[in-house]
Amino acid sequence: MSEERLMSKKKPAYPVNDKLDAYLDHYSRKIEIPIFYEDLLRFSGSVVVYDSNDEDTLWIRVYYPEFERKEIDDSLKKVYSILHSDGSSNIHQYLNVDAVDFCTFGNSKPFRIRIRNILNDNFTYFYIKKTDASRIYGLELEHMLSPYNLNFLVYKDTLIEEHIAGIPGDVFIKDMLPSCTESEKAQLAKEFVKFNERCMIRLLGDMRSYNYVIVPVHDFDHVVYRIRAIDFDQQCFEGKLKVYRPQFFKENYQMVELVRHKLLNDSVDQYKLEERSIVAKRILSSGNRIKRLRAIARMDVISTDENTEMLRKQIFDLTLDPNFKKCETMGEVLDLALNFVRRNYQDVSMKQIIEQKIRI
């Protein structure tokens, strides 16, 4: 299936409503910052950023007029301090803004800020984007339902995201996958199955290889690979269920082939069940926080009526749960999907407890 038919051509940015704004404030995601996305658009020049192989990265390095540069640098240092420290200016003297890069590719058109500690040359990145309600839902769900915590800030029309470290999926598939051992390939296949299942459960779409990273973790005498999403722009927007399953993107073909060659069908089913179970446990352990977010999403507008109708029908065909037919918003579809996973997990767990008591 071609990408053009699989994905809508353009996704709009949805505003943050009052209830979501209050939620962000309650959980310390909403903090006043000294610079906005629109401020960074006032650059006066740029150059193309190339990678180590002299290929275009689709990022440009931007420059600002001399009379504005100091104010912008000070504001970016302040944002770094708010995101990673206590927000004070005490550390500013040790920081340098090495680069401000702008990406013209994709919906979010982010700025990537590189901050370096001048005492030891350690550096880190963070991103500045336009606020989009669906992206915020995606970040919060990733924070609660994935194995990873996320750090981000929202203020008015500006979203600040921390950098997620890892090897871009497309780079890993092209340059590193061929040299992996057979056991590493089998472990990657297992991880891709789990990642695929996790994305579908929480309706995170467009996980093509350049929208996730591979994170190698050294464990005793071997390397374990993890897959992390880095782009949350397509949370709960598209109407086609396949968009929420990374296996259907041609950019992930080699990962799908790994699964086909390295895993038996029974193993694939086992790993899917493991992932559904652990997501269900995270839903239960997230308590009131995820309940509040889901309640807000149910009433919010984060997709089109056409997409909502298409997705609710396709999920009904998959689950045969008649409640999906009643969904009027994409938030209701998401809420029911999470509830379906949680309920099935609890039903199975209760059945096992009853069977155990009978045997005793």
Q: Confidence band (pLDDT; 50, 70, 90) for 247?
A: very high
* Beta carbons of 315 and 333 less than 8 angstroms apart: yes
Closest CA to 162 of 204, 124, 212, 217: 124
Spatial separation of the C-alpha atoms in residues 197 and 183, rounded to whole Å: 22
Geometric angle at alpha carbon 142, from 214 and 59, rounded to 5°: 55
Q: Confidence band (pLDDT; 50, 70, 90) for 52?
A: confident
Spatial separation of the C-alpha atoms in residues 225 and 241, rounded to whole Å: 26
Please report how many Cα atoms fall inside a 13 Å half-sphere around the Cα of residue 156, on the Cβ side.
7
Residue 354: partners with Cβ closer than 8 Å, 6 or more residues away: none
pLDDT of residue 347: 72
DSSP result, 235-258? BT--S-GGGG-GGGSGGGHHHHHH
Structure tokens of 111?
Answer: 């700025």
Structure tokens of 51?
Answer: 């990678």
Each residue's pLDDT tens digit, 251-302 = 999 999 999 999 999 999 999 999 999 999 999 999 999 999 999 999 999 9
* Beta carbons of 158 and 130 less than 8 angstroms apart: yes
Each residue's pLDDT tens digit, 290-336 = 999 999 999 999 999 999 999 999 999 999 999 999 999 999 999 99
Own/partner contacts of 22-25, CB < 8 Å, gap of 24 or more, are 23/292, 23/293, 23/296, 24/136, 24/154
357 pLDDT more than 90 = no
Spatial separation of the C-alpha atoms in residues 194 and 226, rounded to whole Å: 10
SS3 content of the chain, % helix, strand, coil (to 5): 55, 20, 30
238 pLDDT more than 80 = yes
pLDDT of residue 222: 86
Write down the pTM of the prediction. 0.92
- Answer with the residue of higher pLDDT: 89 or 1: 89
Closest CA to 149 of 61, 36, 27: 27
pLDDT of residue 221: 83
Spatial separation of the C-alpha atoms in residues 278 and 282, rounded to whole Å: 6
Handedness of CA 41, 79, 105, 122 (dihedral sign): positive
* Beta carbons of 222 and 183 less than 8 angstroms apart: yes
* Beta carbons of 127 and 100 less than 8 angstroms apart: no
Structure tokens of 124?
Answer: 């880190």
Q: What is the DSSP letter of 89?
A: S
- Answer with the residue of higher pLDDT: 124 or 55: 124
Write the burial class of residue 5 (CB in 10 Å: 0-12 exposed, 13-18 middle, 19+ buried). exposed
